[in-house]
């Protein structure tokens, strides 16, 4: 009988011939990703009573959530992490300024097809864009993985989401995934492994595929994955310096659900406050006033996102009273965007350029909202109170929609610009 | 051995329409403004203070209480404080139609009893806040004080093993000693 992607990966890692959904397996993850929460995780690790982590080679630590430190508490946490990294001999440590963990991890060669990656962040699903099994875990569990090098996993059921057809002009991967989440709802793929496939996915850049797998978390998925192909291999060349064995789902594998979408029918989408599955076509919310526009985050802060925004704002000005914040996802993205002239386009138009990192997405610094304000953001979450005041409103859209809205001061269909 | 059946006063988390609250996310359970707190005992007071209609839950909850909610409880971020805050309050079980995937793991690994009850929404009328309910982790049976019973999902083996050990660390230690 054929096997899905996740069944093959977990069977191989567990040293078994085959596994079935619901089965509990114990595997050794290839990578353990942690970020600013490494301070707390390291203190949990110390409570276990061990001196050394099981294998410092699996640790990837990226400071991204509140960088540079916004106050003494955050600064002290960063200090604890730097000391832990030095003491444990962890080489894959990326300090303030390198970027967001979900961008830096693959850029530095820590994701590859067939890898098992776990991380103490819910958007660890992102790395499925490289054909890896990649899932979020909690802090206690991250400490346990540091201690043992192992983790128990329940083999998930699988969904196959087929996206056929060609995407229309000014429609981005973000619009496609918002449309799907609106259809399947926030728990539509709960605990499941979601395989994204179809003509539209094959035609997508690796960056666009990362948007799909990043937001798989918002439909409850355990992991999201895109089958590796020439695009993947080209992206990884020069980054991953060892051989890897790709995992491809069998054509006769068994899926809990197979769902097909036609990308050509999808228009720009917006998630309205306060849930990600509260999705409407942009035309339905067009005209809603905004105070702030945010382009960046682990969802949409890559070069093609900045390019789409730059193309729209080039030669124009951000509307009076609107704060346009731009955060490239990593140093590499920032350097490329400088070279391509996108940074100049955006800043000339009135954008405020912030350092690579998570920025205001999680409401800790660099652009929190006052009561009654509204932000349109390229992020993946619009939960009540996520970006400052609990009385503020967050709308989610593509970089093109956010850029168009920043120019007009109201939510705007990017196809009109 | 820890008890495999608990009895406690029930809290039904309902939304502003009075329906079982679905998709309660981790920001509603434990808001991001308190994420710098690392002492579990301190977390209890902020439990559910960003959930509309339940802002004062921490003051009303007592040790030994049981919580009931709708679909996808604990959706969203991987923050473990959203599990630990209930442990700090002494909540003995959370029963929901379903749980967010990471939340489920965090709860299991922390030894916080969570019980999935598919179909709960259909039976929601049978339960009310304040009544006593017994939850059997081995069989998945819920029993109301009047004797009425319902079949939820029993603990999985790994969940029971971790629960009996205390938490994931204690469980890992036991595993290590057996090897």
Same domain, A107 and A62: yes
Same domain, A85 and A33: yes
Domain, as residue range, for A119: 5-261
- Report the 3 state secondary structure along chain A: CECCHHHHHHHHHHCCCCCCCCCEEEECCCEEEECCCHHHHHHHHHHHCCCCCCCHHHEEEECCCCCCCCCHHHHHHHHHHHHHHHHHCCCCEECCCCECHHHHHHHCCCCCCCCEEEECCHHHHHHHHHCCEEEECCHHHHHHHHHHCCEEEECCCEEEEEEECCCCCCCCHHHHHHHHHHHHCCCCCCCCEEEEECHHHHHCCHHHHHHHHHHHHHHCCCEEEECCCHHHHHHHCCCCCCCCCCCCCCCCECCCEEEEEEHHHCCCEEECCCCCCCEEEHHHHCCCECCEEEECHHHHCCHHHHHHHHHHHCCCCCCCCCEEEECCCEHHHHHHHHHHCHHHHHHHCCCEECCCCCHHHHCCCCCCECCCCEEEECCCCCCCCCCECCCCEEEECCHHHHHHHHHHCECCCHHHC
A384 vs chain B: nearest CA distance in angstroms?
8
| A139 interfaces chain B, CB cutoff of 8 Å | yes
Structure tokens at A54: 């099981």
Where in chain B are the domains?
5-178
| A220 interfaces chain B, CB cutoff of 8 Å | yes
Residue B93 has pLDDT above 60, yes or no: yes
Strand order in the sheet with B149-151: B114-116, B93-96, B66-69, B5-12, B132-136, B141-144, B149-151
In this predicted structure, what is the pLDDT of residue B177? 67
Whole-prediction pTM: 0.94
Blockwise average pLDDT, block size 10, chain A, 417 residues: 96 97 96 96 92 97 97 95 98 98 98 98 98 96 96 96 98 98 95 97 98 97 98 98 97 97 98 97 98 98 98 98 98 98 98 97 94 98 93 98 98 96
Q: Which of A217, A240, A261 is the last residue of a domain?
A: A261
In this predicted structure, what is the pLDDT of residue B4? 96
Residue B179 has pLDDT above 60, yes or no: no
Contacts of B80 in chain A (CB under 8 A): 138-140
Same domain, A90 and A110: yes
Element (H, E) at B169: helix B168-178
In this predicted structure, what is the pLDDT of residue B39? 87
Task: Classify burial at A170, counting beta carbons within 10 Å of its beta carbon; exposed 0-12, middle 13-18, buried 19 or more.
Answer: buried
A185 vs chain B: nearest CA distance in angstroms?
10
Spatial contact of A191 and B71, defined as CB atoms under 8 Å apart: no
Same domain, A251 and A398: no
Rounded Cα–Cα distance for residues A284 and A231 (Å): 35
Same domain, A345 and A241: no
Question: Least CB-CB distance to A148: which of B22, B76, B172?
Answer: B172
In this predicted structure, what is the pLDDT of residue B36? 80
**Contact assignment for B50 to A390 by CB distance below 8 Å:** yes
B76 vs chain A: nearest CA distance in angstroms?
7
Residue B13 has pLDDT above 80, yes or no: yes
Spatial contact of A334 and A356, defined as CB atoms under 8 Å apart: yes
Q: Which of A261, A282, A307 is the last residue of a domain?
A: A261
In this predicted structure, what is the pLDDT of residue B176? 67
Instruction: Name the residue with higher pLDDT: B170 or A316.
Output: A316
In this predicted structure, what is the pLDDT of residue B35? 83
ipTM score for this prediction: 0.85
Same domain, A105 and A161: yes
Question: Least CB-CB distance to A122: which of B76, B172, B176?
Answer: B76
In this predicted structure, what is the pLDDT of residue B174? 81
Same domain, A186 and A303: no
Q: Which of A261, A294, A329 is the last residue of a domain?
A: A261
Same domain, A235 and A294: no
Reported as a single tens digit per residue, the pLDDT across A260-276 is 999 999 999 999 999 99
**CATH number of the domain to which A233 belongs:** 3.30.499.10
Spatial contact of A19 and A11, defined as CB atoms under 8 Å apart: yes
**Contact assignment for A24 to B169 by CB distance below 8 Å:** no
Q: Chain B: residue nearest A72 by CA?
A: B36
In this predicted structure, what is the pLDDT of residue B33? 84
User: Which has the closest alpha carbon to A236: A103, A110, A118?
Assistant: A110
Same domain, A224 and A288: no
Place of tokens 């990578």: A31
Reported as a single tens digit per residue, the pLDDT across A100-127 is 999 999 999 999 999 999 999 999 999 9
Rounded Cα–Cα distance for residues B105 and B110 (Å): 8
Q: How many other C-beta atoms lie within 10 A of the C-beta of residue B25?
A: 25
Q: How far apart are the first and last CA of chain B?
A: 21
Q: What is B5-178's CATH number, 3.40.50.1860, 3.20.19.10, 3.10.129.10, 2.30.29.30?
A: 3.20.19.10
**Contact assignment for A187 to B72 by CB distance below 8 Å:** yes
Same domain, A46 and A185: yes
Q: State the total domains in chain A.
A: 2
């Amino acid at each position: 009988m054929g096997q899905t992607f996740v069944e093959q990966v977990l069977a191989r890692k567990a040293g078994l011939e085959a596994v079935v959904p619901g089965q509990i397996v114990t595997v050794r993850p290839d990578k353990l990703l942690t970020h600013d929460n490494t301070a707390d995780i390291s203190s949990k690790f110390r409570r276990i009573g061990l001196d050394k982590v099981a294998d410092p080679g699996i640790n990837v630590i990226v400071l991204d959530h509140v960088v540079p430190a916004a106050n003494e508490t955050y600064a002290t946490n960063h200090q604890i992490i730097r000391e832990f990294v030095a003491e444990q001999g962890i080489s894959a440590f990326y300090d303030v300024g390198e970027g967001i963990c979900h961008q830096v991890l693959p850029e530095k060669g820590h994701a590859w097809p067939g890898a098992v990656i776990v991380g103490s962040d819910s958007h660890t699903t992102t790395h499925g864009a490289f054909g890896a099994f990649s899932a979020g875990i909690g802090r206690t569990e991250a400490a346990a993985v540091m201690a043992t090098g192992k983790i128990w996993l329940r083999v998930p059921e699988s969904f196959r989401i087929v996206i056929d057809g060609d995407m229309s002009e000014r429609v981005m991967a973000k619009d496609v995934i918002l449309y799907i989440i609106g259809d399947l709802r926030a728990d539509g793929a709960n605990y499941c492994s979601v395989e994204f496939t179809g003509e539209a996915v094959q035609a997508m850049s690796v960056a666009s595929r990362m948007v799909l797998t990043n937001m798989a978390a918002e439909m409850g998925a355990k992991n999201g994955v895109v089958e590796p192909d020439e695009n993947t291999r080209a992206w990884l060349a020069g980054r991953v310096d060892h051989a890897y064995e790709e995992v491809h789902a069998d054509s006769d594998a068994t899926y809990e659900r197979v769902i097909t979408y036609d990308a050509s029918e999808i228009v720009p989408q917006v998630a309205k406050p306060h849930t990600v599955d509260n999705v409407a076509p942009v035309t339905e919310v067009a005209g809603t006033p905004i105070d702030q526009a945010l382009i960046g985050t682990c969802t949409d802060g890559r070069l093609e996102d900045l390019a789409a925004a730059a193309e729209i704002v080039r030669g124009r000005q951000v509307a009076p009273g609107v704060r346009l914040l731009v955060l490239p996802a990593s140093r590499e993205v920032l350097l490329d965007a400088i070279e391509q002239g996108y940074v100049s386009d955006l800043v000339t138009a009135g954008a405020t350029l912030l350092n690579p990192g998570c920025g205001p997405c999680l409401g800790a610094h660099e652009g929190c909202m006052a009561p009654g304000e509204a932000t349109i953001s390229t992020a993946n979450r619009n939960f009540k109170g996520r970006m400052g005041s609990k009385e503020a409103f967050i709308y989610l859209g593509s970089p093109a929609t956010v850029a168009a809205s920043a120019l007009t001061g109201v939510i705007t269909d990017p196809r009109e610009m | 051995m820890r008890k495999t059946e608990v009895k406690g006063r029930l809290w039904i988390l309902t939304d502003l329409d009075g329906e079982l609250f679905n998709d309660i996310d981790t920001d509603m359970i434990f808001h991001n403004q308190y994420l710098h707190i690392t002492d579990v005992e301190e977390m209890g007071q902020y439990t559910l203070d960003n959930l509309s209609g339940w802002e004062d839950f921490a003051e009303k909850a007592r040790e030994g209480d049981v919580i009931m909610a709708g679909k996808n409880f604990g959706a969203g971020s991987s923050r473990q404080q959203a599990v630990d805050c209930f442990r700090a309050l002494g909540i003995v079980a959370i029963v929901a139609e379903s749980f967010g995937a990471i939340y489920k793991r965090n709860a299991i690994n922390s030894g916080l009893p969570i019980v999935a009850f598919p179909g709960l929404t259909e039976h929601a009328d049978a339960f009310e806040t304040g009544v006593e309910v017994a939850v059997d982790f081995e069989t998945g049976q819920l029993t109301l004080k009047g004797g009425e019973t319902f079949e939820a999902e029993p603990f999985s083996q790994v969940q029971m093993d971790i629960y009996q050990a205390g938490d994931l660390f204690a469980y890992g230690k036991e595993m290590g000693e057996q090897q």
